[in-house]
Every structure is written in structure tokens, then in C-alpha cells.
């Protein structure tokens, strides 16, 4: 493993004032854990549409309307398919997924989980100095323990977010390549 060592440039004039001002003005970087919800939502909506269509399709079957008991069963089944189809069509992404926050002021990584009332609760807090390293790839950031084991892997949505994270972690955490 190769490690890049990027030391921050020295500021001339007042040595700590500008650096302190830059850190104080920096906002924490937050990343969300993501499952492949887009694919799941598409599949749920396709299944919901199929169930809604099948609820009406039960009435289009030729020759099945002669028996009154069968019509009662078809009504129950078509109403059930219609309700389940509507539920699947209106499914949405859950909002209670954990969120990772890289705090430049406190120099720590926090993982927050929202409770039943919607308030964030810290489930993991690690200082940058206790982390073993970080590997930034095109689509994710991997944080490692001091012993080299993987602590957490987070998706990174853009190149700007990846460079912002690299700038924040450089000098505090070993950047692995």
C-alpha cells in the first residue's frame, strides 16, 4: 500500500489565524448510507402496476362470469390485488438510514441514526487520529482501523465531494492508494 503525505501549506503573516478561520468556516461533510433503492423502487412499482392491471384483468376472462360464487371470489381477489398494487406503487425510500458526518472542527467521524421521533442519535464516534487510514475510490470512501481491517465504507456521489473529503482528511488520516 502506498501512502500519500499531503501536508497543508504554511500561511505567511499570522500563522494560526487564517488556518483557524478556515477550519471554523468549514462545514461538516455528511454522507448517507445507500442501498440500491432506485432499483428496488422501480421493481416495486412494476409489480404494483402488474397487480393493478391483473385486478381488472380478472374481469376480462371470457366465460368466467356465469357462476355467482365465482364472481364473489373474483371481487375479493380483485380488491385485494388493487389495494396491494396501490401500496406498492406509492412505496418510497425510507428516511431512517444512517448518516456519516466528517467534522473538520472536532476532527472526528460520526455515524448518526435517527430514532423513532426523527432526532439523530450518535451510534459511532471516532477521532481522525484513531483511524488507521482512508481509501478514496471513484464511488466510495473506505475507512480502516489501525490494524488494517475495514471499519466503514460509504458511497461518494460526486468528484467534488471526494476532493472535499480528501482535503479534510489529508494531514489527519493516512490516505491509502
> 45-67, pLDDT tens digit by residue?
999 999 999 998 888 877 666 77
Between 94 and 43, the more confident residue is: 43
Q: What is the CATH number of the domain that holds 169?
A: 2.30.29.30
Q: Are residues 148 and 83 in the same domain?
A: no
C-alpha neighbours within 13 Å on the C-beta side of residue 109: 27
- Domain assignment of residue 26, yes or no: yes
Q: Average pLDDT, whole number, for the chain? A: 77
- Domain assignment of residue 82, yes or no: yes
Query: Measuring CA to CA, which residue among 143, 97, 149, 91 is closest to residue 120?
Result: 97
Q: Are residues 150 and 125 in the same domain?
A: yes
pLDDT at 68: 80
Q: Are residues 50 and 118 in the same domain?
A: no
Q: Are residues 30 and 117 in the same domain?
A: yes
Q: Are residues 29 and 107 in the same domain?
A: yes
Q: Are residues 59 and 123 in the same domain?
A: no
pLDDT at 49: 94
Q: Which residues pair with 143 in a beta bridge?
A: 134, 152
> Is-above-0.75 flag for pTM?
no
Return the number of other C-beta atoms located less than 10 Å from residue 168's C-beta.
19
pLDDT at 32: 55
Tally of domains in the chain: 2
Q: Are residues 79 and 105 in the same domain?
A: no
> 115-163, pLDDT tens digit by residue?
877 788 888 898 888 888 889 888 888 888 888 888 888 888 888 888 8
Q: Are residues 77 and 114 in the same domain?
A: no
- Domain assignment of residue 114, yes or no: yes
Query: Measuring CA to CA, which residue among 6, 14, 10 is closest to residue 168?
Result: 6
Q: Are residues 109 and 64 in the same domain?
A: no
Residue 51 DSSP symbol: H
Q: Which domain holds residue 139?
A: 16-34+97-176
Amino acid at each position: 500500500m502506498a501512502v500519500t503525505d499531503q501536508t497543508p501549506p504554511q500561511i505567511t503573516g499570522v500563522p494560526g489565524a487564517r488556518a483557524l478561520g478556515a477550519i471554523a468556516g468549514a462545514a461538516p461533510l455528511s454522507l448517507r448510507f445507500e442501498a440500491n433503492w432506485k432499483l428496488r423502487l422501480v421493481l416495486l412499482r412494476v409489480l404494483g402496476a402488474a397487480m393493478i392491471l391483473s385486478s381488472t384483468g380478472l374481469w376480462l376472462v371470457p366465460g368466467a362470469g356465469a357462476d355467482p360464487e365465482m364472481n364473489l371470489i373474483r371481487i375479493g381477489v380483485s380488491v385485494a390485488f388493487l389495494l396491494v398494487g396501490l401500496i406498492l406503487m406509492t412505496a418510497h425510500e425510507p428516511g431512517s438510514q444512517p448518516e456519516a458526518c466528517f467534522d473538520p472542527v472536532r476532527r472526528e467521524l460520526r455515524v448518526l441514526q435517527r430514532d423513532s421521533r426523527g432526532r439523530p442519535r450518535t451510534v459511532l464516534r471516532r477521532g481522525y487520529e484513531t483511524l488507521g487510514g482512508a481509501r478514496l475510490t471513484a464511488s466510495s470512501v473506505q475507512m480502516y482501523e489501525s490494524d488494517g481491517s475495514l471499519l466503514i465504507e460509504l458511497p461518494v456521489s460526486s468528484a467534488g465531494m471526494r476532493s472535499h473529503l480528501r482535503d479534510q482528511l489529508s494531514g489527519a488520516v493516512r490516505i491509502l492508494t
